[in-house]
């Protein structure tokens, strides 16, 4: 396929562009994932809390695509940090899979302090073959240190909120310096960044759409990215980003848009269980 792979610190290769399914309803999930697979996406990012793992599994099964050609990520919810094996087995049952490609601790959970225990369980689940790669999401520098110090196992990825108006450069450098790849969630800022004048101007100049310009920025920064849409034409548009390039100046112009503009919860305080 035209989608490049990124090599993780465990040697496995993940397709750099995937399809995210946060807030995709029970009615929409099978058609949306089926459309994405038809278009050529081979990487799906879901989570137990999204409540749509069964639909993801159904679309995968109906597609007939060989399992080894797909990359499936799911995530451990906040109330299961002390119960990760059972939680993953439940997710696998819903997905209809023997193993996921990537299992993530979804949030560190402020005040709960079970993220090290959860990470120790993920290390075991990888050894047991239920999760081929393991990583974290929404981890700060301190959380990364906690799990690495406890186990000497470095997460393959840190999946964090990143988009042109939230570039979190310090945490990204800290992660990548340790061999942890960045996965950008809400890569379009849940659509807020699509209207940024720098982005719309660049899109006009390049003859592309604002979404394509932003996704291209993520790819050229080396981030793994999985935009969400349930609109077939946008699912196609978001995949069609491998026949143009942003220049070094374009990239710097987008880098300069940081405004610490979070559209999701702050990991330092988020404690929903």
| Token pair of 220 as six digits | 């050229």
Q: Which of 41, 50, 103, 223 is catalytic?
A: 50
Residue whose CB is less far from ligand NAD, 58 or 139? 139
The token pair at 127 is 């050894």
Instruction: Out of 12, 221, 234, 262, point to the residue binding ligand NAD (CB under 6 A).
Output: 234
Decide if residue 181 touches ligand NAD (CB under 6 A). Answer: no
Structural contact between residues 86 and 76, judged by C-beta atoms closer than 8 angstroms: no
| Residue 126 binds ligand NAD (CB under 6 A) | no
Residues 245-264 that bind ligand NAD (CB under 6 A): 264
Residue 79 binds ligand NAD, judged by CB under 6 A? no
By three-state DSSP, how is residue 20 classified? strand
To the question of whether residue 106 is assigned a binding role by annotation, the answer is yes
Of the candidate residues 103, 139, 185, 239, the single one contacting ligand NAD (CB under 6 A): 185
Neighbouring residues of 18: CB distance < 8 A, sequence distance ≥ 6: 41, 42, 43, 44, 45, 71, 73, 224, 225, 226
Residue 272 in tokens: 């929903």
Catalytic-residue membership of 50: yes
C-beta of residue 202 within 8 angstroms of C-beta of residue 213? yes
Instruction: Please report, in range form, the residues annotated as the binding site for substrate.
Output: 106
Q: Which residues bind ligand NAD (CB under 6 A)?
A: 20-22, 45, 106, 137-138, 159, 185-191, 194, 211, 226-229, 234, 237-238, 264
């Amino acid at each position: 396929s035209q989608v490049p792979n990124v090599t993780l610190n465990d040697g496995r290769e993940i397709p750099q562009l995937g399809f995210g399914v946060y807030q995709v309803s029970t009615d929409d999930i099978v058609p949306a994932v089926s459309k994405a697979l038809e278009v050529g996406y081979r990487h799906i990012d879901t989570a137990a809390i999204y409540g749509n793992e069964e639909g993801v599994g159904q679309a995968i099964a109906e597609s007939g695509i060989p399992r080894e050609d797909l990359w499936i990520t799911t995530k451990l919810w906040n109330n299961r940090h002390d119960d990760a094996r059972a939680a993953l087995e439940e997710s696998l049952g819903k997905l209809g899979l023997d193993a996921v490609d990537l299992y993530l601790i979804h949030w560190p959970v402020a005040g709960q302090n079970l993220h090290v225990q959860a990470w120790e369980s993920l290390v075991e689940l990888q050894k047991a073959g239920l999760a081929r790669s393991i990583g974290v999401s929404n981890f700060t520098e301190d959380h990364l240190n906690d799990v690495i110090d406890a186990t000497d196992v470095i997460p393959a990825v840190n999946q964090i909120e990143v988009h042109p108006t939230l570039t979190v450069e310090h945490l990204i450098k800290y992660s990548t310096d340790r061999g942890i790849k960045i996965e950008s969630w809400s890569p379009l800022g849940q659509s807020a960044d699509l209207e940024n004048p720098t982005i719309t101007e660049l899109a006009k100049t390049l003859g592309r759409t604002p979404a394509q310009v932003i996704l291209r920025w993520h790819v050229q920064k080396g981030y793994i990215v999985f935009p969400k849409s349930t609109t077939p034409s946008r699912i196609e548009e978001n995949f069609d980003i491998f026949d143009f390039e942003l220049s070094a100046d374009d990239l710097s112009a987008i880098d300069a848009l940081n405004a610490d503009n979070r559209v999701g919860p702050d990991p330092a305080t988020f404690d929903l269980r």
